Structure 1
Amino acid sequence: MNGKRALAFFIDFLITAIIQNFLFMYFIIYPQVTGTAQEAGSIFLKALLITYISMCYLIFRDVPKGGGIGKHIARVQIVCAATQDAAPILKRLLCNVFWIFGPLELFIYAVTGKKLGDRIAGTDIAA
């Protein structure tokens, strides 16, 4: 199951990177190349906003029933750990909110085999 979960995360992370890079190219790089002057503060604010939008995808990706794009492709879904029934929307959101602490979330998953978000939300992944 961990292989499918890793595949789902890789797909979702790739989508996040594409979103981030597209927005960065359009709002920061393109104006620089075309000679449109931007103040450093404006560039910084745009970069923060772009990062925020990308993180929103990571957090809200599993809101649709059945999960996000990565989970659909990997054919896994988020379930309640106790019942193995499909997790309600609030649990799906809660288990992803901890991506805000990305490195910590990855470290905990690497050490324990379960994400911090899954532990707190009471969720798991099932095929």
Structure 2
Amino acid sequence: MNGKRALAFFIDFLITAIIQNFLFMHFIIYPLVKGITQPAENIFFKALLITYTSVCYLIFRDLPKDGGIGKHIAKLQIICAATQDAAPLSKRLLRNVFWVFGPLELFIYAVTGKKLGDRIAGTDIALK
């Protein structure tokens, strides 16, 4: 199960990286290569906005009932820990909001085997 969960995370993280790199290349690197000068403040603001957009994917990826792309490929689903039924939309969103604390979320998962978001939202991951 942890292997499938790691696979799902890897797929979602790869998608996040692709989104980030595409936007970074299009809005920052490409204009610089073309010789378009931009104030450093504009580049910094664009980089923050691009990072924000990428993190939004991590937060909102599980809004579809079947979960995100990674969970769909790994054949996993988000369930309520108490009832073992499919988790409602509010819990699927709440469990991912804690990605804003990225390294802390990963550390807690590495130590305890359960994400901080899963603990607070009362969710778990199960095989489909």
TM interval, shorter chain, is over 0.9
Paired residue secondary structure (2:36): coil
Cα deviation, 1:39-59, whole Å, max 9, x if unaligned, reads 100000000000000000000
Paired residue secondary structure (2:86): coil
Residue 43 of structure 1 aligns with which residue? 43
Structure 2, unmatched stretches of 5+, are: none
- Equivalent positions of 1:1-127 (< 5 A) are 1-127=1-127
TM-score (norm 1): 0.99
Deviation at 1:12, TM superposition (A): 0.1
1:24 counterpart letter in structure 2: F
Within 2, Cα distance between the matches of 1:54 and 1:116?
Answer: 20
1:125 counterpart letter in structure 2: I
**Structure 1 runs of 4+ off > 4 angstroms?**
none
Within 2, Cα distance between the matches of 1:78 and 1:101?
Answer: 20
Within 1, Cα distance between the matches of 2:93 and 2:87?
Answer: 10
Deviation at 1:80, TM superposition (A): 0.2
- Aligned sequence identity (%): 83
Cα deviation, 1:67-95, whole Å, max 9, x if unaligned, reads 00000000001000011100000000000
1:73 counterpart letter in structure 2: I
Cα deviation, 1:19-52, whole Å, max 9, x if unaligned, reads 0000000000000000011110000000000000
- The alignment yields a C-alpha RMSD, in angstroms, of 0.4
Paired residue secondary structure (1:77): strand
Within 2, Cα distance between the matches of 1:5 and 1:19?
Answer: 21
Count the aligned residue pairs. 127
Structure 1, unmatched stretches of 5+, are: none
